[in-house]
Amino acid sequence: MKTKENVEQIIAYLEDSSNFKSGKAEKVYIPEDETEVIYILKKCAKEKIPVTISAGGTGNVAGRIPLEGVVLSTEELNRIVKIDVENKIATLQSGVVVNNFIKELEKFNLFYPPFPTERNAFIGGNVATNASGEYSFRFGPTRDYVRRIKMVLTTGDILEIRRGEIFEKNGFIDYEHFRIQIPSYRTPDVKCSAGYYIKEGMDAIDLIIGSEGTLGVITEVDVALIDILPERFIMIMFFNTDDDIVEVVTRIKGYKDKLNIYSLEFFDCNSLGFLGEFEFVNRVKKNLDKNCCAIYIEAEKKNLDLWLELAESINCIDTVVAESFSDYEKLVRLRYKLPENINSYFKRLGTTKIAVDAAVPEGKFKELYDFYKNIMLKYKEIKMVLFGHIGENHLHFNLFPENDKQKQLAEEIYIESIRKSVSLGGTGFAEHGIGKLKSKYLYLMYGEQAIYEMAKIKKTFDPYCILGLGNIIPKEILSC
Ligand SMILES: Cc1cc2nc3c(=O)[nH]c(=O)nc-3n(C[C@H](O)[C@H](O)[C@H](O)COP(=O)(O)OP(=O)(O)OC[C@H]3O[C@@H](n4cnc5c(N)ncnc54)[C@H](O)[C@@H]3O)c2cc1C
C-alpha cells in the first residue's frame, strides 16, 4: 500500500478551502482496495491512532484536515465499478472524482443531478457532507440519490446498507452490528447539513449520509441517475434595488415547473464586486445603484421567450442571456468563480471564513433576508457579501473582518444569525457540513444535550473513538 511520510508530501492534506491552519499528521495512507482500508483501521484502532478521512479536499469546514494521527486518503479508490444504464444506477468507489463521473455518464446519455459546484470533489466527500449542487433547487441534495453505502468500521467490520431496508422504529435503529437509540432532536425540514440526520421513521442509510467521516470509511456507493438534461440557457437579471427581491423570487418560484427552472440564485451588489474579471458584470454594474443585485437562473431552452417576457415584467434593469455553448460555459464559470474568489479573498486576509449558511422554511425567508440586510446597514465597517441559493431560502452570508475588534463583532453576528434562523424553524448549517470550523456552534441549533447524544452515536459506530476527531462533535464533549 502507498504511504506518504515526509512533511512536503503530507502538507497537501492539511488544507481544504476553509483556510484552517491547525492541521497535523504523521503519515498519509493511500489504500488501493477495501482490504487495505480494513488493515489500516484495525491497526490504528489497536494502537489508538486517530484517523482522518481525506477525499477531494474541496470542503469548506476543515472536515478532512487532521488535528493529529494519520490521514486515510481515498484517492486510489477511484473506480467507476458499473453503470447500469437500464436501471439508471451507478456503482462507484468513494474516491471517484465527480467531474470524471459526469463525463463518463454523458456517454450513456445519463446525468447525476446533485453534483456540487466544485466538481473536483469525490463522490465519497459528497456523500459524507450531503453536498447539494448547482441544481439542488430542482433536484435536491446528494441524500436523495444514494441507494446503497458500503462502509468499513474501525472494528474492521463492513457495514453495507441499502435504502429501503432498515428504518427507525420505537426510537431505535437496528444496524447489522449494533443498535442505536435515536436522539431527542430532529433535523428540520429545510436544506440542512447540521450533524447527524435524525427523523421519525427515518431510513437507516440517512444517518450515514452527512456524517462527515466520523462513523466509518465509505468505500463504495450506489447512486441513482436520470436522463441527460435537455438543452438549457442561463440568464442573469440585474436589478437597481433589492427592496422587492424576495417578492420577485417568490413570483419566479411560482413558475418552477412551468418554466422548468434548474437553478435560482442571488448575488447582492457586493458579490458582483467579486466578479470583476467578467467584463459585462463591470459594465452593467457601473450603471446600477449601491443597493443593486442580480438573479441568476438556469432553465430549459424551450422556455426562453417566456423568460424574456417575465424579465420585462419584474423591473429588471438589464439581462445577460447565454444560449450558445460558449456563453453558457462562461456563465457557469461565473457562478463557480464567485465562491472561489471569495475563498481566495479569505486566504489573502489570512483568516478562516466567517460564513453564515442558514436556510429557513418557505414563508420565513423575508424575515431572514431583512435580518441580514439590517446587519449590513448597521455594521458598515465590516465588508460582507450575500449570495447563493435563494430558490431554497438559503443564502451564504460571508463576513470579512480585518482586525480583532471586527472579528469579535463578526462572531457575534454569526451566532445571532444562527439563533435567528433556528427561531424561524430553519437551520444554521444548510450546506458544507460542520467539520471542525463550526463544531463549537452546533449546540446553538440543537442544544447541548443533542451534542452528547451525537457523541453516543459516534462511539457506537466507532468504539475505538479514532475517526474524524474534531468533526461535528467538539473534542471535549467526545472525550475519547
Ligand atoms: C468553489 C467551491 C464551490 C463549492 N460548491 C459547493 C456546492 O455547490 N455544494 C456543496 O454542498 N458544497 C460545495 N462546496 C464544498 C465541497 O465541494 C463539498 O463539501 C464536497 O462535498 C466536499 O467533497 P471532497 O471530496 O472535496 O471532500 P473533502 O473536503 O476531502 O472531505 C469532506 C468531508 O468528508 C469526509 N469524507 C470524505 N470522503 C469520505 C469517505 N469515503 N468516507 C467517510 N467520510 C469521508 C471527510 O473526512 C471530511 O469530513 C464547494 C467548495 C468550493 C471550493
Q: Is 392 part of any domain? A: yes
Residues 75 and 220 in one domain: yes
Q: Name the residue at shortest CA distance from atom 37 of ligand 1.
A: 125
Cα 308 to ligand 1 centroid, rounded to whole Å: 36
* pLDDT tops 90 at residue 8: yes
How many angstroms is it from 400 CA to the middle of ligand 1?
Answer: 23
Pick the residue whose CA is nearest to atom 23 on ligand 1. 125
375 pairs with which residues across the strands?
Answer: none
Confidence of residue 330 (pLDDT cuts 50, 70, 90): very high
The answer to whether residue 18 scores a pLDDT higher than 90 is no
Indicate whether 352 pLDDT > 80: no
Rounded to whole angstroms, the Cα distance separating 369 from 193 reads 20
Position 348 scores a pLDDT of 86
Q: Quick one: DSSP state of residue 273? A: G
pLDDT in tens, 172-223: 999 998 999 999 999 999 999 999 999 999 999 999 999 999 999 999 999 9
**What percent of the chain shows pLDDT beyond 70?**
100
Residue nearest to atom 16 of ligand 1 (CA): 59
Segment 368-400, tens digit of pLDDT? 999 999 999 999 999 999 999 999 999 999 999
Q: To test ligand 1's pocket by mutation, which of 36, 53, 99 has the most ligand atoms within 8 angstroms of CB? A: 53
Q: Are residues 335 and 456 in the same domain?
A: no
CATH code of the domain containing 188? 3.30.465.10
Q: Is the pLDDT of residue 435 over 80?
A: yes
Q: What is the pLDDT of residue 459?
A: 97
Q: What is the mean pLDDT of the chain?
A: 95
CB 181 within 8 A of CB 452: no
Q: How far away, in angstroms, is 442 Cα from ligand 1 center? A: 19
**Mean pLDDT across 40-55:** 98
The angle subtended at Cα 170 by Cα 166 and Cα 173, nearest 5°, is 35
Confidence band, pLDDT 50/70/90 cuts, at residue 480: confident
Which atom of ligand 1 is least distant from the CA of 432? 19
Instruction: Let me know whether 471 and 412 are in one domain.
Output: no
Choosing from 17, 28, 36, 58 the residue with most ligand 1 atoms within 8 A of its CB, the one to mutate for a pocket test is: 58
479 domain-assigned: yes
User: Helices marked H in 76-152 — which ranges?
Assistant: 98-106, 123-129, 136-139
Q: Is residue 42 domain-resident?
A: yes
DSSP string covering 360-384, please? Answer: --TT-HHHHHHHHHHHHHHTTTSEE
Q: Is the CB of 61 under 6 A from ligand 1?
A: no
391 is written with which cell numbers? 430558490
E strand residue ranges, 163-287:
172-174, 179-181, 217-224, 226-227, 232-239, 261-268
Ligand 1 atom closest to the Cα of residue 142 is 11
Residues 179 and 293 in one domain: no
For ligand 1, atom 50, the nearest C-alpha belongs to 118
Q: Which CA distances in Å does 454 have to 151, 206, 472?
A: 19, 14, 9
Give the cell for residue 99: 467531474
Whether residue 75 has its Cβ less than 6 Å from ligand 1: no
In which band, very low, low, confident or very high, does the pLDDT at 95 lie, cut at 50, 70 and 90?
Answer: very high
Q: Confirm if 459 and 153 have CB atoms less than 8 A apart.
A: no
Are 261 and 325 in a shared domain?
Answer: yes
The alpha carbon of 423 and the centre of ligand 1 are apart by a number of angstroms equal to: 28
**Is the beta carbon of 73 within 6 A of some atom in ligand 1?**
no
Q: Residue of the nearest CA to atom 2 in ligand 1?
A: 118
State whether 314 and 362 are in the same domain.
Answer: yes
Residue where a domain terminates, one of 423, 447, 468? 423
Q: What is the mean pLDDT of residues 64-78?
A: 98
Nearest residue (CA) to ligand 1, atom 38: 125
Protein residue with its CA nearest to atom 46 in ligand 1: 64
Read off the pLDDT of residues 136-152 as tens digits, 9 standing for 90 and up: 999 999 999 999 999 99
Q: Which helix (H) or strand (E) holds 111?
A: strand 110-111
Task: Pick the range with the lowest mean pLDDT from 6-15, 34-43, 161-170, 307-316.
Answer: 307-316
Is the same domain home to 361 and 459? no
Q: Report the pLDDT value the prediction gives residue 54, as an integer from 0 to 100.
A: 98
Query: What is the reported pLDDT for 351?
Result: 76
Q: Report whether residue 462 contacts ligand 1, using a CB cutoff of 6 Å.
A: no
Confidence (pTM): 0.95
Output the residue whose Cα is nearest ligand 1's atom 10. Answer: 131
Output the pLDDT for position 108: 98
Structure confidence at residue 350 as a pLDDT band (50, 70, 90): confident
Q: Give the domain-ending residue among 423, 452, 472.
A: 423
Please give the number of the atom of ligand 1 that sits closest to the Cα of 216.
43
Averaged over 252-276, what is the pLDDT? 91
- Stretch 21-45: mean pLDDT, rounded? 97
Q: Tell me if 93 CB under 6 Å of ligand 1.
A: no
Read off the pLDDT band of 65 (50, 70, 90).
very high
Q: Does residue 428 lie within any of the structural domains?
A: no
Distance from the Cα of residue 446 to its chain's centroid: 19
Query: Domain with 338 in it: what CATH number?
Result: 3.40.462.40
Do the strands 232-239 and 293-300 form a parallel or antiparallel pair, or are they unpaired? antiparallel
The 3-state DSSP class for residue 474 equals coil
Residue 338 predicted with pLDDT over 90: yes
Q: What percent of the chain has pLDDT over 90?
A: 85
Q: Which residue has the cell 442544544?
A: 447
Longest alpha-carbon distance in the chain? 67
* Candidate from 50-59, 71-80, 329-338 with smallest mean pLDDT: 329-338
Residue 82 has which C-alpha cell? 458499473
| Helical H segments across 254-303, by residue range | 269-272, 279-286
CB 442 within 8 A of CB 434: yes
Query: Could you tell me if the CB of 341 is within 6 A of ligand 1?
Result: no
Domain that holds residue 402: 232-423
Q: Does residue 254 or residue 446 have the better pLDDT?
A: 446
Query: Does the beta carbon of 298 lie inside 6 Å of ligand 1?
Result: no
Q: Is the pLDDT score of 288 beyond 90? A: no
Does 240 share its domain with 172? no
Please give the grid coordinates belonging to residue 185: 432532536
In a domain, 431, yes or no: no
State residue 354 phi and psi, 5-degree precision.
Answer: -105, 100
For ligand 1, atom 1, the nearest C-alpha belongs to 340
Q: Is 187 in the pocket of ligand 1 (CB under 6 A)?
A: no
Q: Which three cell numbers stand for residue 424?
A: 424561524
Helix (H, G, I), strand (E, B) or coil at 42: helix
CB-CB contact of 316 with 237 (8 Å) = yes
Q: Which residue among 33, 60, 161 is best mutated to probe the pocket of ligand 1, counting the most ligand atoms within 8 A of its Cβ?
A: 60
Q: Residue 477 falls within a domain, yes or no?
A: yes
Domain end point (choices 399, 423, 447): 423
User: Residues 189, 284: one domain?
Assistant: no
Atom of ligand 1 nearest to the CA of 433: 19
Torsion-angle region of 431 (φ positive above 0: left; ψ -120 to 50: alpha; else: beta): beta
Alpha-carbon span 268 to 272, nearest angstrom: 7
**Contact predicate 261/239, CB 8 Å:** no
Residue nearest to atom 5 of ligand 1 (CA): 117
Helix axes 404-423, 365-378, angle to 10 degrees: 160
In terms of domains, do 248 and 163 share one?
A: no
Determine the Cα–Cα distance for residues 83 and 71; give it in Å rounded to an integer: 30
With 90 as the cut, is the pLDDT of residue 410 above it? yes
- Whether residue 28 is contained in a domain is answered as yes
**Model pLDDT, residue 255:** 84
Same domain, 150 and 114: yes
CA of residue 13 to ligand 1 center, whole Å: 13
- 201 and 276 co-located in one domain: no
Q: Is residue 429 part of a domain?
A: no
**Per-residue burial over 85-106, b = 16 or more CB atoms within 10 Å of its CB, e = otherwise:** eeebbbbbbbbbbbebbeebbe
CA distance 55 to 64: 7
| Ligand 1 pocket check for 124: Cβ under 6 Å | yes
Task: Identify the pLDDT of residue 287.
Answer: 86
Pocket of ligand 1 contains residue 17 by CB under 6 Å: yes
Nearest CA to ligand 1 atom 43: 213
pLDDT of the residue at 164: 98
Overall number of domains in the chain: 2
The yes-or-no verdict on residue 118 having pLDDT over 90 is no
